[in-house]
Amino acid sequence: MTETNALGYPKLVPKNPVPSDIDISKQIVKDVGLLPILDVAKQVGLKEDEVIPWGIAKAKIPLKVRDSRKDVPNGNYVVVTGINPTPLGEGKSTTTIGLAQALGAILGKKTIACIRQPSQGPTFGIKGGAAGGGYAQGEFA
């Protein structure tokens, strides 16, 4: 029997030998599919009114959530950047998901992988291309 989490989804269980990527993908689609973002939010302790769904698989989290969790210890933010893809195409996205899965399944940590977030740029948010290339930082008189 497959072990499940509090919401009834199968827990990630490492396998040895490691299955091929296509076998893993087929198994995930068969067993779970794409998790609704509100279920993902519940798994990390967010309330439904603290999540603004952006389709089924994405959401925005208002800054007020930070205030409601001021007594909760901070987590860690890991940036995966500047990786040259392997000949098989494994690069930043694959590494990001692998790290999140390892931290969750092996170390038992609550993890969220954010891929395709706006560029943080060389100075962490002041000048990132996806966030306006510096134009978004201007002051208005």
d(CA 128, CA 26): 36
Please give the pLDDT value at position 33: 76
- The stretches in the chain having pLDDT less than 70 are 1, 6-7, 116-141
Distance CA 109, CA 100 (A): 9
Query: Hey, which residues does 52 pair with through a beta bridge?
Result: 60
Helix then strand then coil, in percent of the chain rounded to 5, is 35, 5, 60
Exposed, middle or buried by CB within 10 Å (0-12, 13-18, 19+), for 78? exposed
Q: What is the pLDDT of residue 138?
A: 46
Q: Scanning the structure block, which residue is given the tokens 């989490």?
A: 5
Q: Taking the CA of residue 26 as centre, how many other CA atoms within 13 Å lie in the half-sphere pointing to its CB?
A: 5
What are the domain boundaries of the chain? 76-119
The pLDDT of residue 106 is 79
Q: How far apart are CA 84 and CA 89, in angstroms?
A: 9
At 52 the pLDDT is 94
pLDDT score of 141: 41
Q: What is the pLDDT of residue 50?
A: 93
> What is the model's pTM?
0.58
Give the helix/strand (H/E) hosting 60. Answer: strand 59-60
Q: Is the dihedral of CA 51, 53, 57, 62 positive or negative?
A: negative
135 within 8 A of 129, measured Cβ to Cβ: no
